[in-house]
Amino acid sequence: MPATGNPFAWLSSAEYLPQIRKLFPRGDAWPEDPDTTAEAMRQAIADSAAAVHTLGSTLVEIEGDPTQTLLLLSDWEKDWGLPDPCTPLNATIAQRRAALVGKIVSNAGGNLSLLAYLEAVAAAYGYTITARYGRATDGTGWQWLIVITAQTASTESFFRAGDSGAGDFLNTWNNSQLECVLRRITPAHKQLSYTYV
């Protein structure tokens, strides 16, 4: 174990080389002079061992964490059924990771109330929301109200002469990805209403 106490600390080829030297036989055929073929072979083995150790440590420390994975991101996505209809087209690595973490969190919400569960899933996707139960603004009755803060990424669309018609709002906000995710995890008998502030 390295001096740091971390069992997954990455070892360099310089740290492997003394160990490799001890594994080789002694004698005139195996000199330890730096300019010999035998030492070059030991150095190559040490370089390979360090590369394998680094890759193994990377797999354990980084690729095993869905918030950091890169090499195994597509494997994680396959395991969790991604991309799905809620995943943006041409998603960036960060968006793909957020979708993965959100999917994992959405499957682990059994101990939360519905409101806390919706907030936790939205947070895993990188959105800040406040969920509450109240009367809908259109007077249709009691609903689960989702208030999405202005810092949250959303799509804003404006009234445009020639493209919009009478009765259209002058300005609207939405976030189709977040709304898709929340609709997917909300029980069928619950109605969600969104407000962007």
How confident is the model over 96-155, as pLDDT tens digits?
998 898 888 887 655 567 788 888 888 888 788 888 776 666 666 666 677 776 555 555
Mean pLDDT, residues 62-76 taken together: 89
Number of H-type helices and E-type strands within the chain: 6, 5
Spans of all domains in the chain: 13-63, 84-196
What ranges make up the beta strands (E) of the chain?
129-135, 142-148, 155-158, 171-174, 192-196
